[in-house]
Amino acid sequence: MTTSATATLGSNGTPIDAVPSPAASPAKPKPAFGILGAISSAHMVNDMMQSLILAMYPILKGEFSLSFAQIGLITLTYQLTASLLQPLVGLVTDRRPQPYSLPLGMLSTLVGLMLLAVAPNFSVLLLAAAFIGIGSSIFHPESSRIARLASGGQHGFAQSVFQVGGNMGTAIGPLLAAAVIVPFGQGSVAWFGLAVLLGIGLLLQVSRWYAAHHIAVGGSKKAAVGSPYPRKVVIGAIAVLLVLIFSKYFYVAGLSSFYTFYLMERFGLTVQSAQLHLFFFLFASAVGTVLGGPIGDRIGRKPVIWVSILGVAPFALLLPHANLFWTTALTIVIGLVLSSAFSAILVYAQELMPGKVGMVSGLFFGFAFGMGGLGAAVLGLFADWTSIAFVYQTIAYLPLLGLVAALLPKGVRRA
């Protein structure tokens, strides 16, 4: 006599005990906050070092009897190495990730900083600027990829955390230069090497995590993910995004580079008071960077891009005609709103071209750097020919280029 075990069957004929429980569904991934904090801190160190070059110009001009053309050449050397190399670095690391390239890039920055501290002539100054630029070009594409990898799916939030470190570094660099380099001279730059060493230590930890995570999730190459749009649409959308980057960074270059001179010339402020107003603008920019990414995660990238670029236009147009109180208030609003754009633009572009995070990051960081440097140079010449007040009236129309955001395709997936 044989006995057969019976099992209770579900309506579809599947044994009930074989039906997966809802509790067994995989947990939603969370951001790796430690990695995001480390990469943001390293970004602060990187951008603080590059801002030191700008802050040292008055000292270098007097020490080496430099002309304005030579100072412009230092900026050009840094901007060329920092911007033109980034898309190439991103393209290479897309094909073959290099986890330990980040501390090596920061080591290049350290070499440049030491050269800057001991440079005996103009040629060595150019070499120092080139090393710092190379370090920056290696840092941005790969660190942006790691920020996305550590995002837990909250890509806008992760890019904002990453970006705010750079904004804070740019903001505090000139303050530290005023406190250390101005009173103690060129050689005191070497003390900032301690911050770079800290950055290298942080990036070694990040690189170990990246190497282990890459092995864990990608021992074999994943199938390439296609873009949600045809190639022609993607190229057009990337072109629109680059126009928006041009609008933002050309305007920011004019606003930030000459803001202290504008306040001193128009309202008779002292240097210290004007620098404090500049800090208000830069701090507002940092806050806006933090907010822009998470808002884009919730409501979509395109609305954030619309509001952050075009939404600034009324405030920018009012700025040249405002008194001191409203000038300060308007620049805080402009910094807060406009700075939310970059994280949304970058993540939008990454979603247009899946699988090419490094190349896209390098392209947009490099283009942003290039437009910032070119904007400062061109608008500086323009200010010499006319006046700073006239420059402010002219650049006020740049945010109107935000209208081209209407050409962006709808519904880029938020994978």
Domain annotation for the chain: domains and CATH numbers: 33-218 (1.20.1250.20), 227-415 (1.20.1250.20)
- Residue with the bigger pLDDT between 198 and 20: it is 198
- By the 8 A CB rule, do 164 and 286 touch? yes
pLDDT band for position 103 (50/70/90)?
Answer: very high
pTM value surpassing 0.85: no
Range name among 75-79, 101-105, 192-196 with the lowest pLDDT average? 75-79
- By the 8 A CB rule, do 56 and 177 touch? yes
Mean of the per-residue pLDDT values of the chain: 79
Distance CA 71, CA 73 (A): 5
How high is the pLDDT of residue 356?
75
pLDDT band for position 412 (50/70/90)?
Answer: low
Cα 207–chain centre separation = 20
How high is the pLDDT of residue 329?
94
How high is the pLDDT of residue 16?
40
How high is the pLDDT of residue 219?
43
Instruction: Check whether 90 has a pLDDT greater than 70.
Output: yes
Please state the rounded mean pLDDT for residues 188-204.
93
- Distances, alpha carbon 312 to alpha carbons 108, 224, 317, 399, in Å: 37, 38, 9, 6
pLDDT band for position 286 (50/70/90)?
Answer: confident
How high is the pLDDT of residue 44?
92
How high is the pLDDT of residue 74?
82
Secondary structure of the chain in HEC code, one letter for each residue: CCCCCCCCECCCCCEHHHCCCHHHCCCCCCCCHHHHHHHHHHHHHHHHHHHHHHHCHHHHHHHHCCCHHHHHHHHHHHHHHHHCHHHHHHHHHHHCCCCCHHHHHHHHHHHHHHHHHHCCCHHHHHHHHHHHHHHHHHHHHHHHHHHHHCCCCCHHHHHHHHHHHHHHHHHHHHHHHHHHHHHHCHHHHHHHHHHHHHHHHHHHHHHHHHHHHHHHHHCCCCCCCCCCCCHHHHHHHHHHHHHHHHHHHHHHHHHHHCHHHHHHHHHCCCHHHHHHHHHHHHHHHHHHHHHHHHHHHHHCHHHHHHHHHHHHHHHHHHHHHCCHHHHHHHHHHHHHHHCCHHHHHHHHHHHHCCCCHHHHHHHHHHHHHHHHHHHHHHHHHHHHHCCHHHHHHHHCCHHHHHHHHHHCCCCCCCC
Distance CA 230, CA 119 (A): 51
Instruction: Check whether 145 has a pLDDT greater than 90.
Output: no
pLDDT band for position 3 (50/70/90)?
Answer: very low
pLDDT band for position 128 (50/70/90)?
Answer: very high
Which among 227, 400, 415, 232 is positioned nearest to 306, based on CA atoms?
400
How high is the pLDDT of residue 320?
92
**Percentage of residues in the chain with pLDDT exceeding 90?**
22
Instruction: Check whether 353 has a pLDDT greater than 90.
Output: no
How high is the pLDDT of residue 214?
61
- Residue with the bigger pLDDT between 160 and 245: it is 245
pLDDT band for position 227 (50/70/90)?
Answer: low
- Residue with the bigger pLDDT between 237 and 171: it is 237
Instruction: Check whether 178 has a pLDDT greater than 60.
Output: yes
Instruction: Check whether 97 has a pLDDT greater than 60.
Output: yes
**379 - beta bridge partners?**
none
**9 - beta bridge partners?**
15
How high is the pLDDT of residue 254?
77
Which structure tokens are listed for 231? 């190639």
Half-sphere exposure of 227 (CA within 13 A, CB side): 17
Please state the rounded mean pLDDT for residues 145-161.
82
Please state the rounded mean pLDDT for residues 76-82.
78
Instruction: Check whether 22 has a pLDDT greater than 50.
Output: no
- By the 8 A CB rule, do 124 and 115 touch? yes
